[in-house]
Structure 1
Amino acid sequence: MGNRDFRIEPQRLTPREQIRRYRALAGEHIISLRNLWPGPADYGGLRQSWLKDLLAGITVGVVALPLALGFGVASGAGAAAGLVTAIVAGIVAAIFGGSHLQVSGPTGAMTVVLLPVIAKHGLGVIPLLAIMAGIIVVAMAVTAVGRSVELIPFPVVEGFTMGIGVIIALQQLPLILDAPRGESESTLMAGWQTIQQADWGHAWQPLAVAAAVVAMHVIGLRLVPRWPLALISIVVATVAVVLLPITVETIGALPTGLPSPQVPDFTIGMLQDLAGPALAIAALAALESLLSARVADGMRPDLTPSNPDRELMGQGLANVASGLFGGLPATGAIARTAVNVRSGARTRLSSVTHSVVLLAVMLLLAPIVGTVPMAALGGVLLVTAGRMINLRLGRTMLTVTRADRNTFLLTFGATVLLDLVAAVLLGLLMAGVMSLRHMATYSVVARQNLPTATVEGVVDWSPEQRHLRDAVAVFRVDGALFYGNAQRFIDEVNDIGGDVAAVIIRCHQMRILDASGAVALDTALKRLRRRRIIYVIQGMNNSQRRTSVLMGATEERHHVKELSEALTWIDDELRTGVHTKMT
């Protein structure tokens, strides 16, 4: 039926029933905490996929090595701190995290956050900062904050993913050109500075190595798509550089050995000073890790999706462990996670292997791995970035709806031009604004004529009431009456002729009434009272009626349930002339 004058009311619970419900919810949450820890299901299917997982882990370990060293240097803590972070945080997050495919370690976004903290408080606070941020992230996991990632709209995730792909590609320019990295905090500007500083008489050599790696991937994906192409291309490129007269930068000397774990020195004043930065780092670690895990789920929808709360637990513990070993704050890394997925990983064994490979490199293979060309690693990451930039899906996002297009473009642009946290927040803000705009657009405030069909049947003025047809204005509010359409409601209701003696406001299909909507209702009704026009509100549910009365917009006597009651109420009021006494 088109004009349904009834709705499904939410269940109303007594205080005792509410207490029982909250106890049950608390019990369910305590039971769900058991799912935040490792179990045998984490390695389901390992017998069939162990070889692919090992190969993927080795590939990611080789790719992650220069990134760990580079981010350690970029943060000011040194290459050793970056490598320690990748090893310790990587293995802890792999075991305790909620994603089968996530690879964790130091990231560029975290480096940007750390630089001003180091400038203000010194390098020695970084391990303590990692521990504090880790404890905060663990608290997020226990309180089920991770599930909120499900509220992030698809255009935000896709814009974020494609923006990260562009950033990853730009970050490889120093590697594939053997040029100094730009000093700008903006990845885009830093890339342009790198191009300007490149020595093109020499840059063609690393550029050729990177191009060869990309070409091997393109050809290999067509001929042998199941092979570990990243690892193969790196080995081939390394051998070629050793045998041919090519001069390119290599990984070089590596630190050896892990430091002993210890709790950093701290004071109460230091904890208070670092509380703000620790909270910011925790927010970035949680956000980047959850989005990275979500992107990985999208790349392998055939696998069990990640558990967001457990992922936060793993990342929190990983940061605490990294701080105890003198490392940096860590987070899930989209670039390394994407390499892991594309290399054929299926279980978390690959992420564990990645950390073991880094540890083995530190202890045993540093001289050999030191000969790997940086340009070859840049080529591998260029391929990974290209796979993250889904142009077909991007074109679709531009043509679906204006809201999706605006949200997608804003998130993408902010990811490239600003930073990851700002990009997601701006994307969520745009999505929220467009949702409110939609709600306001599809919320109807319109004049209605009788007769009309209701659950009572066709309702119209009786023969004795027909003289009221032109004297009573009927308005219908569908959807929501909230701050997005409050003024429109006021204007519509008060735009009536001078011959109108009464107004019926039908709210039987109104789903939302907030405080702003109640104030708008109060404003409209006050103007009606000044014109000595009587009114009645029909069809509000109990919650809406309570809001209206508490905000002083209406009195209980002005509310009726059915339209037929509203007609009778108006007729009685006009007959008795009560409206002439109203002020």
Structure 2
Amino acid sequence: MSASSRSLRALLPSRDDYRGLRRSWRGDIAAGITVGIVALPLALAFGVSSGVGAEAGLITAIVAGIVAAVFGGSNVQVSGPTGAMVVVLAPIVVVHGVEAVVVVSILAGCIVLAAGALRLGRTVSYIPWPVIEGFTVGIGVIIFLQQVPAAVGVASTGHSTNALVAAVQSVRDADWPAALLPVAAVVAVALIMVLLGRVSGRLPASFIAIVVVTLATTVFALPLSTIGELPRSLPAPSLPLFTMETTLSLIGPAFAVAALAAIESLLSARVAASMADTGPVNADRELVGQGLASVASGFFGGMPATGAIARTAVNVRSGARTRVSAVVHSLALLAVVYAAATVVATIPLAALSGVLMVTAARMMSPRLIALVLRSTKSDAAVFIITAVITVSFDLIIAVGIGIVVAAFFALRALSEASGVRREELPGPAMPGDERIGLFRIDGSLFFGAAERLLDRISGQQGIEVVILRLSQLQLIDATGARTLTELVTTLEQRGVTVLIKGIRSEHMQVLERLGTVDSLRHPNHLFAELHPAIEHARSHVARSAVGN
């Protein structure tokens, strides 16, 4: 089998995906049903909160959940609508309308699918931890703020696309004291979830809270807005109308959604792999599976999907070991559509807001926040910048800026760790040694540190021979090699002989290509050991003294 064929097969489902199913099928089915119960209120809530409706959230959990389970790269990942996706989709709905979400779902799915086919799955490992935590906290704040309108019984239409501004406007426009009723429903859901969570982490607290508040609303005929009528079957798949104008206007949002879907799915899969021995994660295949899931969801009128960290964690803790559990989770939700759509329609919107508010609060872990803030000043700054930009502007821009800021601090630290120091010549001192400069270059010689090297060495006076020790140099880039060439050329033009000792084999090619070796006065001025270089320098100084 050719390498290309093996590469393609690695991205496709295989029988190995279900290895061990004979031993784990009971646990997988039980875990799938458990996750389905947990996922039901979340799917409904995320659909409502994004502006596309509870139906779309449920469709996404069903269709995308099955497709991602079969084609994805994780054995226990559970996919569907998530809070982070809501943060991106809500402004798209406001600006472009509900119909645009289907188009964005298909476009973003194709982008994620292409990223997987191009083997870009490992790129998520380059995102620093403070950026991820800042991003997560920012999303948690936005999700919480997005629930304020429903929590006070105010329609979010006509308000700002900024979650903080919209939350303030909703509180201002609420019909007080009538708004205290939905607020009470939110508080009741939150209290039930928190108390049940303390009793046992295995209880489906959100589901129980929704049931209790819905029953109370029905029994006492409370005037609370509800989800409303839901379809009793899945809609037939259809292709939305793609026009050039629509596609061009939505390509930017689609790339933002695709970036988010890729990042969140890969992070979720990585977290799942760390929780239990459920097999390796194929990052590229995970992107292929998530891309196909969003495309399929769009065909059925759903929204873009990602791997859901909370539901995946519940899946693993409930004993899931194969993909069957995620498939069962979707089938359980499908059974709700066909058997309980009428009951689900009576759920108060305020109750769903309560579920999401608690979910958002749990995303903002005080322990992790304190851990980041206590780590280093630079990491704390990256975390705060990412979180603030996520809440204030845009979540994808926040990740990009967070990575740039983290890279700046990393390069500064790398530059500070790099250095040039003048050393004493080893052995007994000899006449003329003061005219020999032995310089050791440590760490990295790259664009962030190269200029300092040039100034440090070229500024030396009263030296006839310079020996550059490069054996401790760990990294050199094109800028560093070019700066080294300029240094040698400058010194030679001033009449200072330059000797280079200990070029590492992995650095030789770039130094040869950028002229460092050729800039030496003589090919013999390149040494593998220090002692011959010092002997050569002393003989050169001695000849110079005789000549004078």
TM-score (norm 2): 0.86
SS of the aligned residue for 2:437 comes to strand
1:512-563 residue CA offsets vs partner (Å, 9 max, x unmatched): 1111112222332233233211111111123423322322234262321111
**Matched pairs, number:** 537
Q: Which runs of structure 2 are paired with 1:142-181 in the superposition (5 Å)? A: 142-181=117-156
- The Cα shift of 1:142 comes to 2.8
- The Cα shift of 1:306 comes to 4.4
In 1, distance between residues paired with 2:316 and 2:370? 23
In 2, distance between residues paired with 1:165 and 1:578? 74
In 2, distance between residues paired with 1:243 and 1:40? 46
Deviates further, 233-242 or 62-71: 62-71
Cross-structure match for 2:298: 323
Matched, 1:197 2:160: no
- The Cα shift of 1:278 comes to 4.8
Matched, 1:61 2:50: no
Matched, 1:221 2:197: yes
- The Cα shift of 1:386 comes to 2.3
Cross-structure match for 1:10: none
Pick one of 425, 443, 447 that aligns with 1:483.
447
1:91-131 residue CA offsets vs partner (Å, 9 max, x unmatched): 32233223424331373244257459847xx94x7655544
- The Cα shift of 1:226 comes to 2.8
Pick one of 518, 521, 528 that aligns with 1:561.
528
SS of the aligned residue for 2:203 comes to coil
- Show structure 1 runs of 5+ residues with no match: 1-22, 452-459
Q: Which runs of structure 2 are paired with 1:238-317 in the superposition (5 Å)? A: 238-244=214-220, 246-264=222-240, 278-294=254-270, 300=275, 306-317=281-292
Question: CA RMSD, aligned part only?
Answer: 3.4
1:352-387 residue CA offsets vs partner (Å, 9 max, x unmatched): 455435444444423211111222222222222222
Matched, 1:40 2:18: yes
Cross-structure match for 1:454: none
Q: Which runs of structure 2 are paired with 1:19-98 in the superposition (5 Å)? A: 29-30=7-8, 32-33=10-11, 39-41=17-19, 45-48=24-27, 50-73=29-52, 81=56, 83-98=58-73
Q: CA 1:138–1:105 in structure 2 vs 1: closer, same or farther (change >3 Å)?
A: same
Equivalent pair of 2:54/2:227 in contact (CA under 8 Å): no
SS of the aligned residue for 1:446 comes to strand
SS of the aligned residue for 2:177 comes to helix
1:209-256 residue CA offsets vs partner (Å, 9 max, x unmatched): 221222222322333443222221211111112223632222122244
SS of the aligned residue for 1:546 comes to helix
Cross-structure match for 1:516: 479
Equivalent pair of 2:128/2:406 in contact (CA under 8 Å): yes
In 2, distance between residues paired with 1:112 and 1:536? 64
Equivalent pair of 2:45/2:356 in contact (CA under 8 Å): no
Q: CA 1:196–1:365 in structure 2 vs 1: closer, same or farther (change >3 Å)?
A: same
Equivalent pair of 1:508/1:539 in contact (CA under 8 Å): yes
- The Cα shift of 1:36 comes to 7.5
Pick one of 186, 208, 218 that aligns with 2:162.
186
Equivalent pair of 2:503/2:528 in contact (CA under 8 Å): yes
Amino acid of the structure 1 residue aligned with 2:406 = A
In 2, distance between residues paired with 1:379 and 1:271? 36
Amino acid of the structure 1 residue aligned with 2:491 = L
Q: CA 1:319–1:389 in structure 2 vs 1: closer, same or farther (change >3 Å)?
A: same
Equivalent pair of 1:335/1:385 in contact (CA under 8 Å): no
1:177-224 residue CA offsets vs partner (Å, 9 max, x unmatched): 212227222222222222222223022212222212222223223334
Q: CA 1:90–1:38 in structure 2 vs 1: closer, same or farther (change >3 Å)?
A: farther
Equivalent pair of 1:446/1:476 in contact (CA under 8 Å): yes
SS of the aligned residue for 1:45 comes to helix
In 2, distance between residues paired with 1:238 and 1:343? 28
Amino acid of the structure 2 residue aligned with 1:517 = G
Equivalent pair of 1:58/1:353 in contact (CA under 8 Å): no
Amino acid of the structure 1 residue aligned with 2:71 = F
Q: Which runs of structure 2 are paired with 1:332-351 in the superposition (5 Å)? A: 332-333=307-308, 340=314, 344=318, 346=320, 348=323, 351=326
- The Cα shift of 1:394 comes to 1.0
In 1, distance between residues paired with 2:199 and 2:61? 33
1:470-507 residue CA offsets vs partner (Å, 9 max, x unmatched): 1111111011111111121111102212x221111111
Deviates further, 327-336 or 405-414: 327-336
In 1, distance between residues paired with 2:276 and 2:131? 19
Amino acid of the structure 1 residue aligned with 2:42 = V
In 1, distance between residues paired with 2:224 and 2:247? 45
Q: CA 1:303–1:375 in structure 2 vs 1: closer, same or farther (change >3 Å)?
A: farther
Matched, 1:531 2:494: yes
Pick one of 448, 469, 476 that aligns with 1:506.
469
- Show structure 2 runs of 5+ residues with no match: none
